[in-house]
Structure 1
Amino acid sequence: MKYDFDEFVDRTGTHGMKWERTEALFGEKDLLPLWVADMDFRGPAPVIEALARRAELGLYGYTHRPDSLLEAFGAWMEKRHQWKIESDWICWSPGVIPALTAAIQTFTEPGDRVIIQPPVYPPFFKVVTENGRELVTNPLMQRDGRYEIDFEDLEAKFRTTGAKLLILCSPHNPVGRVWTRDELERLEAICAAYGALIVSDEIHADLVYAPHRHIPLAALSERAASRTILCHSPSKTFNMAGLQAAYIVIPDKGLRTAFNKTMAKGHHTMSNTFSIVGSESAYREGGEWLEQCLAYIEANIDYAIGYMENYIPQIKVTKPEGTYLLWLDCRGLGLSTTDLKLLLLRKAKVALNDGLSFGPEGEGFHRLNAACRRATLEEGLKRIRDAVYS
């Protein structure tokens, strides 16, 4: 079927964070929300219909995860990412961040070092420090607007800190890189040389634009599979984060048993009834919607980049290879961090994610969510242009 991504969906009264909590979180009225990674689109029709049928039953008791769900997820991974996985490799978590927390608690001890690669998704910092581990950063390098891994620094950090674990963001949020096979193999080799495990957050794996292709880290080799905790979820792919479901693929039996033991200690064992129904229907029948959605978002991204080049050339943005997030380099405006924030919030009246929340390397940047109606994007960009030149 043909989906209409220009459709206006009134989210008033839905308790959605993006549209109903923006004023409280940003401290300003009348803001246009272009921040949190939450699409403004209705999800796939088969998912909506499956959830409606389940809701109509009127019974919402304890629900187990059926084999058919694991089979659907496995088939999706094989079709989309050319990686055949076994059903018993699949663990469950209510979200990727709880899974990262469980992995840190399982495979490191208090005081151990954990490496992350900023600028990166803000919770990565917290899951390390709030669990009593020491944070080590391996900042990405920016070359001609494109971010790359600093492998020399990464090896030096392992050598000097003895870090036990690395959290990889693949594809990377917020810079939009889709790591190549060569990059992933080099990173995995360094981690293996120093005996470190890798927790790979691949929540944006399905949101990639041609000619780029996402490669699951654990699919690289048997060695990579034996040292990887891979986190996947339908939440970003199908705009269903509120259903709270993540599928954690751990091929190694020992690592898998230990991870599940930690999840059981926290009593994270039961799935939400609707997350089961929504996930299975999305993985079985959501492909058509996703293809159309990606085409629409990529057109939005191209529009935004062209608009910046033509009307706000002081703000630079490199087209992301994956995700629906634009990493705006606002340093050309010549504003302080405070003045830039005031420009966007008080003059432009747009709510973006402040780059500093992604680490010191994000100073002077802001993150914009392009997974919205074109009319919303046009209005947001116009507001920014008018604020810059007023």
Structure 2
Amino acid sequence: MTTRFDEIIDRRETNAVKWDSRKEVFGTEDLLPLWVADMDFTCPPEVIDAVVKKAKHGVYGYPKQPPAFYQAIQGWLKRRFNADVPKEWISTIPGVVPGIRMAVEAFTKPGDKIIIQTPVYPPFYSSVEDLGRHLIKNPLIEENGYYTMDLADLEKKIDARTKMLILCHPHNPIGRVWSKEELTRLAEICAKHNVFIVSDEIHSDLVYEKGTHTPFYTLPEALSQRTLTFIAGSKTFNTAGLFSSLAISNNAELLRTFTQTAAQFGVNHLNLFGIEAMTAAYSHGDEWLDELLVYLRENAEYIINFLETHIPQVKMWQPEATYLGWLDCRGLGLPKDELRKFMIEEAKIGLNDGASFGEEGVGFQRINFACPRSVIEEAMTRLKQAVDRLG
């Protein structure tokens, strides 16, 4: 059955990083880009209509967030996560990564220790190290492609200088949705040692089983008072270029400190069109997202089945969330640098090299499967032909 997501949309020469940066990133334009985390699908029609309407007005002055903006957010969080979030819990930030950096600046000092759970999204590393904080790794435990938190190791690594943990929830690149039990235990350890938690929940809408994602701010108040959660519609509705995200906390003083820090650095305003897009998406995007999740899940299943049938040396675990697959290529027996070269020069597909997510990612590649099925089919065919040539 043909769906709205089967359409091939030519993004070349549109200043799309994913397509128009192939030469800089991979050294060639002769490959299929399946790397940077945006989708090759158009936004929901309601989002497009809202942006076009605002564009036609012709005056693009400084915007404010109207009541409808907050009502849309609150309605979305209630419908998707059964979360009651007062307007007073919400602040704005142009992006989740700038938000994480502002949280580091607001709640830690140079020399403080900050924990991340690896392998993980590369900006987590730079958000700590660029600001002069000391990075502590709490590697996840992997068993047959399934990852869990190593909470015993976490507690061992916390000392008096440890001030923050940055959580990826759902996790990029491994696709885990942390259970309420896992989050509770994590929060208990951090509360015991007075460690602040920053929860990056930008992929929280892209969960394949409804009701499995637990927003951190919905945990009991004793565990969530020293936490700050970031969300955005950018991954969900493919609006990353509109630079509009949200920070949520049930601690008024904490949120005020964060907002003041963001204002000091001039990153407390949203994009004019981002406000319109977010309002429309959170008001009308449910049906579109439900259809998208079915399509994405089937894309992931296609990859998994193809690998099992044709390329057993490469494996992928079914992600619980996100449109990112974590390909275990260790069975190919290629050294780190040779694996990346093989994907680019032989398979001619542009993936994120696993090593960029930390040393625990060596031997892995991250694939973005948020594209038409025919593109995934072509990518898998290219990969099979390249592996066959390895002998």
State the TM-score, normalizing by the size of structure 2.
0.97
Q: Percent identical across equivalent pairs? A: 45
Which residue identity does 2:290 align to in structure 1? E
- Alignment match, 1:91: 91
Q: CA deviation at 1:11?
A: 1.5
Distance 2:54 2:24 in 1: 34
Contact 2:81 2:211 in 1 (8 A): no
Could you tell me how far apart the structure 1 residues matched to 2:204 and 2:91 are? 18
Q: Is the 8 A contact 1:102 1:263 kept in 2?
A: yes
Provide the C-alpha distance between the structure 2 equivalents of 1:283 and 1:97, rounded to a whole number of angstroms: 21
SS in 2 for 1:198: strand
Are positions 1:219 and 2:247 aligned together? no
Q: What is the Cα deviation at residue 25 of structure 1?
A: 1.3
User: How far did 1:82 drift?
Assistant: 1.1
* Cα distance, 1:57 vs structure 2: 1.1
Asked if 1:378 is matched to 2:377, the reply is: yes
Aligned to 1:238: 237
Q: Tell me by how many angstroms 1:3 deviates.
A: 5.3
State whether residues 23 and 31 of structure 1, in contact with CA within 8 Å, keep that contact through their aligned partners in structure 2: no
Aligned-pair RMSD on alpha carbons?
A: 1.1
Aligned to 2:182: 183
1:122: how far off? Answer: 0.2
**2:340 aligned residue:** 341
Which residue is equivalent to 1:21? 21
Is 1:36 matched with 2:67? no
Superposed displacement of residue 119, structure 1: 0.3
Map 1:278-289 onto structure 2 (within 5 A): 278-289=277-288
2:118–2:357 CA contact under 8 A, matched in 1:
yes
C-alpha deviations, 1:116-168, integer Å up to 9, x for none?
A: 0010000000000000000000000002210000010011011x463100000
Structure-2 separation of matches of 1:226 and 1:338: 44
Q: Report Cα offsets for 1:236-259 as digits up to 9, x if no partner.
A: 010100000111001101111110
Runs of 4+ in structure 1 deviating by more than 4 angstroms, as ranges, are: none
- Residues 320-378 of structure 1 deviation map (CA, whole Å, 9 limit, x = unaligned): 00111100000000111121111100011100000000000000000000111001111
Match of 2:296 in 1: 297
Deviation at 1:270, TM superposition (A): 2.5
Q: Distance in 1 between matches of 2:120 and 2:265?
A: 27
Q: Where does structure 1 lack aligned partners over 5 or more consecutive residues?
A: none
Q: How does 1:5-16 map to 2 (within 5 A)?
A: 5-16=5-16
Q: Which residue of 1 aligns with 2:63?
A: 63
- Shift of the alpha carbon at 1:74? 1.1
Q: Secondary structure of the equivalent of 1:204? A: coil
The aligned residue for residue 110 of structure 1 is: 110
Amino acid at match of 2:132: G
Deviation, structure 1 residue 100: 0.3
Per-residue deviation, 1:174: 0.2
Deviation, structure 1 residue 78: 1.1
Paired residue total: 388
Question: Aligned pair 1:321/2:286, yes or no?
Answer: no
| Cα distance in 1, alignment partners of residues 328 and 28 from structure 2 | 23
**In the alignment, what sits opposite 1:77?**
77
Match of 1:363 in 2: 362
- 2:114·2:134 contact (CA, 8 Å) conserved in 1? yes
> Does the aligned pair in 1 maintain the 2:114–2:135 contact within 8 Å?
yes
2:292 aligned partner, one-letter code: C
- Contact 1:174-1:327 at 8 Å conserved across structures: yes
Query: Which stretch shows the higher mean deviation, 289-298 or 219-228?
Result: 219-228
In the TM superposition, what whole-angstrom CA distance separates every residue of 1:264-287 from its partner, at most 9, and x where no partner exists?
101123221100000000000011
